[in-house]
Chains A and B, each alone.
Chain A
Amino acid sequence: MLVAAQGGPAQTPAAPPPAARPSVVLEGREINVPVTLAGNGPMFGLTPLAEALGGTLSTDVSGESVSLKIADKEVVIGQGNAIITVGDAIVSLSQPPVQGEGGLQVPLDFLRKTFGDLLGYSFDWRPETQRLTIARRGTRELPVALDVVHLQGMTTIVLQFPEEPRYKVNRQGSIIQVQMLADRLTPPAPKEIQDPLVQGVTIDPGQIRVQLAEGAQAESYVLEKPFRLVFDVHRTSEVEVPTSPSAPAGRQAGIHTIVIDPGHGGTEVGAIGPSGIQEKELTLQLARELEAKLAQRLPVRVVLTRTEDANLPLDMRTAIANQNKADLFVSIHLNSSLGSGAYGTETYFLSPQATDTRASSSAATENRAAAGSAPATSDAASSANPANPANPADDTQDLQLILWDLAQTHHMTESQRFANMIQGELNEMLKLKDRGVKQAPFRVLMGATMPAVLVELGFISNPDEEKKLKDPAYREQLVDALSRAIAHYKALVENQPQSQPAAPGTAPQATPPAAGTPAPAAKPPAKVGRPA
């Protein structure tokens, strides 16, 4: 059954006779590789192939496993085991590597999954001629797009490719080199980079070179569909997420501009109370009253997202806050519930899942996949998944999503701290039922690039609370509590940038707290609903 054969010295291959011995031809030249023909397919001697194709073989001390180093990946092979590891990936083979003539012998799919995938070789086995032809796959010309964005003390470098390149990353001091192994890059137009953490990025056909600033370090990861190699660059001493709002470009540290968002408006009436009063009316009233109160109390600029009964898309509300470089965003709402008996106040900040870079990216990817898998008859499904993988605009959207995620993640801690202060003030002043600080994937909080909360100031669907909410004196108390929470937060941010988060139940203070006021640990928020 076994036919072992060896090629002779390197020679130019001639047309093989019908009963030719097995042979291996690399780039038109026969090389000396033992080939064994078995029932499950041919097996090839690994040692000469590793030498010819570019790999380093070593055997562990116990002799049980063999390590093959190809580029920056290590392939670990257990004799007689059809499972190997390629880097972190576990790969199944059609048959296990075995000891044979000239050492370890491996099946054809081993060669394809190692040298093929990592170095770009193709392996063509023809049973009729018993010849394995190895060639370098056509070198791909891959365009690469570069984006460098600095946000919140961290720089993100995104290298985007139409498909995954064969590359390896080398680091030496402050230089990161992305070396192409079998592909060539088409560099984008040169871009001047002015960044505190990245001195420059140069892209040649064979490599990408990132020069970091002194004291900066980078972590890399990849995102799929489209393939992106991402480097997060930060100062060595700034790995932790800041616990106080840092000042993005164009903003001064501290709380100077506050955007108040009266919920709903126009045809979006919001909740409706038993007496017929609509949420949109009361939220506008409360927002105006809060604006006046803040003008009296604090040296801040207050911007209302709407000042009349008009429709205003949710994304526009946060856009207004972003355009005004707001330091705080407060969306004011009144609640309603199905069933009876709900009352009290609650304050929301965004779900962490909604701000998670990977989750958002994967959700976008999944949306696309779902669009692809949904039945063609589904108009609904296609409208649900507008993203078109072929559309370059989607890549931009993905990038924006990532950048927004990064920014929002930095604000999550602050949003929670601020939400805790609001609930603390409302509880203390009004002795209302504390429904707590919660998290939810609320659309109006998603685009904000500053600490942002949505506060529910009572249940308009509850007859008792509706009655109170219509009373100007009661609203004055609510507004007073909100303004105190804002003052408290402003003072904490500006006077105690390194302090710990405050907690609900923090005693109200008529004046902003002095530096050094202890701030208890925050209570974990309830998470309500999450996007995938």
Chain B
Amino acid sequence: MSRRAASFILGFALALLVGGGLWWWIAGRKESGRGHGAASAAAQAGQKVSFQLFFPADGGAIKAEPRDLQVLDEPKDRIHKILDALLVGPKAAGLVRPFPEGVVVGGVLLGRDGTAYVDLRWPNHEEPPPGGSTEEIQRVYSVVDSVTLNIPQASRVVLLWNGVQRDTFSGHLDLSRPLVPDRSR
């Protein structure tokens, strides 16, 4: 075999090897991408989980209503979904929504120490709704209890109004410190 022919064969083999490797790598990437995408879609869809939402009730009480919500595993997502559902309002008679229509969850943060920061926003309303002490207790603890009694990672709640922590919402409860659930019911 001439030296030239040997070089040609060696170059051809090398090209085959590189091309094959490239094909294998690209195919593998495609496969892996398809697998990852499917898992990602499943993770994004989440799962249906049963929660207890705590709504203000007749007689100045707060009562639980069971609710199935589609949520991710992430505690922060669960808190957000629970509060979204809470603010939309109850389904059962005798229960009422804790805040007026238009109040939304502006953001949720969950600290490593178990403190959930819940920012409620009411566009075009600087102040929280006024009310008596029972009304304020119903509003505040419907949120605190719905978060802390459903999400084990959240043991207390700091409430913010339009992004700012206030001493109180309507002149009674001290909101300058984190609140733990009211288990007295």
Task: Tell whether A pairs with B.
Answer: yes
- Among B56, B59, B98, B180, the one with the most A-chain Cβ atoms within 10 Å of its Cβ is B59
Interchain CB contact under 8 A, A441 and B96: no
Evaluate whether A443 and B172 lie within 8 angstroms (CB atoms) in the complex, with A374-B109, A380-B119, A532-B156 already known.
yes
B109 touches A342 (CB 8 A): no
Q: Known: A342-B58, A530-B180. Contact between A337 and B117, CB under 8 A?
A: no
Q: Is A198 an interface residue (CB 8 A)?
A: no
Verify if A367 is at the interface (C-beta below 8 Å from B).
Answer: yes
Q: A334-B132, A338-B139, A531-B177 are in contact. Are A314 and B167 (CB under 8 A)?
A: yes
- Asked if residues A337 and B179 are in contact (CB atoms below 8 Å), the reply is no
**1/0 contact string of B84-122 vs chain A (CB within 8 Å):** 000000000011101000000011010111010101000
The reply on B27 being an interface residue by CB < 8 A is: no
Task: Chain B residues near A446: list those with CB within 8 A.
Answer: 174
Q: Which of B1-9, B11-19, B31-39, B158-166 contacts A (4 or more CB under 8 A)?
A: B158-166
Contacting residues, chain A, for B113 (C-beta < 8 A): 366, 369-370, 373
For chain A, the bracket of interface size reads: 35 or more
Residues of B within 8 A of A268 (CB): 130, 170-171
Q: Are B135 and A338 in touch, CB under 8 angstroms? A: yes
Q: Which residues of A contact B49 (CB under 8 A)?
A: none
- Given A383-B165, A384-B158, A528-B137, the answer on whether A264 and B117 have CB atoms closer than 8 Å is no
Residues of B within 8 A of A461 (CB): 132, 135
Task: Check B167 against A378 for contact (C-beta < 8 Å).
Answer: no
Indicate if the CB atoms of B132 and A271 lie closer than 8 Å.
yes
Which residue from B58, B111, B132, B184 sits with its C-beta under 8 Å from A374?
A: B111
Q: Which residues of A contact B61 (CB under 8 A)?
A: 339
Q: Is the CB of B172 within 8 A of A336?
A: no
The docked-state distance in angstroms from the alpha carbon of A341 to that of B94 is: 10
Is A125 part of the binding interface, using a Cβ–Cβ cutoff of 8 Å? no
State whether B117 touches A532 (Cβ < 8 A): no
Cα-based distance from A423 to B179 in the complex (angstroms): 27
Q: Is B131 an interface residue, CB under 8 A from the partner?
A: yes
A342 with B60: CB separation less than 8 A: yes
Q: Does B178 contact A (CB under 8 A)?
A: yes
Contact B134 A314 (CB under 8 A): no
Please measure, in the bound complex, the distance between the C-alpha atom of A9 and the C-alpha atom of B92, giving whole angstroms: 86
Residue in B58, B137, B144 whose beta carbon sits within 8 Å of that of A340 in the complex: B58
Q: Does B71 touch A at the CB level, under 8 Å? A: no
Q: How far is the CB of A313 from chain B (nearest CB, A)?
A: 8
Interface: A111 (CB within 8 A):
no
With A270-B130, A369-B113 given, is the CB distance from A531 to B174 under 8 Å?
yes
* Chain B CB within 10 A, most for which of A267, A334, A529: A529
Interface size on B, residues (CB 8 A): 53
Q: Is B57 an interface residue (CB 8 A)?
A: yes
Contact B134 A337 (CB under 8 A): yes
A263: interface (CB < 8 Å)? yes
CB of B146 within 8 A of chain A? Answer: no
CA distance A460 to B76 in the complex (A): 38
CB pair B133 A375 closer than 8 Å: no
Whether A272 sits at the interface, judged by CB under 8 Å, is yes
Which are the 5 A-B pairs with shortest beta-carbon distances? A336-B132, A271-B132, A338-B56, A342-B60, A335-B132
Q: List 30 A-B contacts (CB under 8 A).
A: A268-B170, A333-B132, A336-B134, A337-B56, A339-B58, A340-B58, A341-B59, A363-B177, A366-B113, A370-B111, A370-B178, A373-B112, A379-B163, A380-B107, A380-B163, A381-B158, A383-B160, A383-B165, A442-B133, A443-B173, A456-B132, A456-B134, A459-B134, A460-B132, A528-B141, A529-B137, A530-B179, A531-B177, A531-B180, A532-B115
Chain B interface residues (CB < 8 Å from chain A): 56-61, 94-96, 98, 106-107, 109, 111-113, 115, 117, 119, 127, 130-135, 137-141, 144, 155-156, 158, 160, 163-165, 167-168, 170-174, 176-180, 182, 184
- Extra contacts, 20 of them, besides A313-B167, A337-B138, A373-B112 (Cβ < 8 A), are A333-B133, A335-B60, A337-B56, A337-B60, A338-B96, A338-B131, A338-B135, A339-B57, A339-B60, A354-B174, A366-B113, A366-B178, A370-B115, A380-B117, A380-B164, A380-B165, A383-B160, A384-B158, A527-B182, A532-B156
